[in-house]
């Protein structure tokens, strides 16, 4: 006998796709992987890993290293999200924040609101904990206020307003303020997931949605996986004063505390200004790949699909003109050496429209051209 929630552990579809996608020779638009060339390697950046302080090997604090919490609080405050270091919790990657927030807020049959579509692995966690998810439709600027206003009563709303996974969309300041105002009026707690903020190719992104809240409680989280390296498994959250204490206790129950080596590496990188420099040096690479994918999509798929050219993040989201069987298409593509993500799993409920998610960060412009050509052939048939 297992727990009831295990029946809701969704199939290993994504795991299977990613396993195939990493085969040598495969062009993969499937994952959400940073460019290999863009990974932060501390040694190459002049950080001497052998200089780890002695006390780092003992148990640490569940909340995280104090200096890192201070940096996060300063960054958040600098973005208009006034907070103190006591409101910060260092995470073993921001996926962990989703687990902790689900533990904090989701009972069996708890109503929650999610963008349609939304980050797949967040939907999986909310579903695992038994949430009843209600879709908020999106337009080109992200979640639509009219959809939020019409949504049923719910315990919280999950938003990724900045270069969303999977759509790549970024809400304007006005849209954020409008959504925040609605959440305030409804007394709706807001969980904002913000891992892509620094991967901004055209202009600095607007302040977080939660910085516009006047009354509602909130959790905001960020990550070092996209700006530095995913292997570090390091993220953070900042929470409303009412919520931080139970979140820290949940963190302690989950894994006692976050790896101290990673915390130390990131702290050194921050103190030495290496993070900003690293991100800045990566942007041309990402921009080039984004532009390459946009160009070849325009050339090959303008009749078959529509998309918003993302101004940040890692993904193109193709809305297809015709209904397709995404899994059958993927199967054909894999045989031709191309992997991508079918759109259906990104919808909490019934898919709104046929779609594909294409990652552009992990392939060279040449691979991008070849991959999109394969896709166009398959879709054109």
Residues that bind a copy of itself (CB under 8 A): 1-6, 9, 12, 15, 31, 33-34, 36, 39-41, 43, 48-50, 52, 54-60, 62, 92-93, 95-96, 99, 103-108, 110, 121, 124-125, 128-129, 155, 225, 229-233, 245-246, 249-250, 252-262
For the CB of residue 188, give the shortest distance to a copy of itself in the complex, in Å: 11
Tokens 């820290």 sit at which residue? 248
For the CB of residue 12, give the shortest distance to a copy of itself in the complex, in Å: 7
CB-wise, 121 or 334, nearer to a copy of itself?
121
Q: What is the spatial distance between Cα 119 and Cα 137, in angstroms, rounded to a whole number? A: 14
Q: What is the spatial distance between Cα 248 and Cα 237, in angstroms, rounded to a whole number? A: 10
The answer to whether residues 143 and 179 touch, using CB atoms and an 8 Å cutoff, is yes
For the CB of residue 201, give the shortest distance to a copy of itself in the complex, in Å: 22
For the CB of residue 342, give the shortest distance to a copy of itself in the complex, in Å: 19
For the CB of residue 270, give the shortest distance to a copy of itself in the complex, in Å: 17
Q: What is the spatial distance between Cα 210 and Cα 159, in angstroms, rounded to a whole number? A: 10
Tokens 């692995």 sit at which residue? 121
CB-wise, 107 or 335, nearer to a copy of itself?
107
CB-wise, 37 or 335, nearer to a copy of itself?
37
For the CB of residue 211, give the shortest distance to a copy of itself in the complex, in Å: 23
CB-wise, 105 or 324, nearer to a copy of itself?
105
CB-wise, 196 or 307, nearer to a copy of itself?
196
In DSSP terms, 114 is beta-bridged to 135, 158
Nearest CA to 191 out of 159, 155, 151 is that of 159
Q: What is the spatial distance between Cα 314 and Cα 360, in angstroms, rounded to a whole number? A: 6
Nearest CA to 227 out of 266, 198, 264, 268 is that of 198
**Taking phi first (over 0 means left), then psi (-120 to 50 degrees means alpha), and beta for anything else, what does residue 336 get?**
alpha
CB-wise, 4 or 350, nearer to a copy of itself?
4
């Amino acid at each position: 006998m297992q727990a009831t929630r295990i029946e809701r552990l969704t199939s290993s579809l994504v795991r299977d796709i990613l396993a195939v996608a990493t085969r040598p020779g495969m062009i993969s638009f499937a994952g959400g992987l940073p460019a290999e060339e863009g990974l932060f390697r501390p040694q190459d950046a002049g950080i001497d890993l052998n200089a780890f302080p002695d006390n780092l090997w003992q148990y640490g604090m569940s909340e995280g290293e104090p200096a890192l919490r201070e940096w996060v609080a300063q960054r958040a405050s600098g973005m208009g999200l006034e907070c103190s270091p006591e409101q910060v919790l260092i995470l073993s990657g921001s996926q962990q924040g989703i687990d902790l927030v689900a533990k904090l807020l989701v009972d069996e049959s708890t109503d929650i609101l999610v963008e349609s579509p939304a980050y797949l692995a967040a939907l999986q966690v909310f579903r695992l904990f038994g949430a009843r998810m209600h879709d908020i439709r999106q337009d080109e600027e992200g979640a639509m206020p009219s959809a939020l206003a019409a949504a049923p009563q719910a315990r919280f709303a999950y938003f990724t307003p900045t270069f969303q996974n999977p759509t790549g969309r970024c809400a304007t300041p006005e849209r954020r303020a409008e959504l925040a105002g609605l959440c305030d009026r409804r007394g709706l707690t807001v969980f904002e997931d913000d891992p892509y903020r620094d991967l901004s190719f055209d202009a600095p992104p607007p302040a977080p949605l939660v910085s516009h809240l006047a009354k509602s409680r909130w959790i905001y989280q960020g990550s070092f996986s996209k700006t530095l390296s995913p292997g570090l498994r390091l993220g953070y959250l900042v929470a409303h004063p009412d919520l931080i204490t139970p979140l820290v206790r949940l963190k302690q129950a989950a894994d006692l505390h976050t790896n101290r080596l990673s915390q130390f590496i990131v702290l050194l990188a921050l103190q030495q200004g290496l993070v900003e420099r690293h991100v800045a040096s990566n942007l041309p690479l990402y921009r080039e790949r984004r532009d390459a994918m946009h160009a070849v999509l325009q050339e090959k798929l303008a009749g078959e699909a529509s998309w918003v050219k993302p101004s940040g993040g890692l993904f193109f989201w193709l809305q297809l003109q015709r209904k397709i069987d995404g899994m059958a298409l993927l199967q054909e593509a894999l045989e031709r050496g191309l992997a991508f993500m079918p759109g259906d799993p990104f919808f909490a409920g019934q898919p709104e429209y046929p779609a594909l998610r294409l990652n552009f960060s992990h392939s060279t412009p040449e691979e991008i051209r070849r991959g999109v050509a394969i896709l166009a052939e398959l879709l054109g048939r």
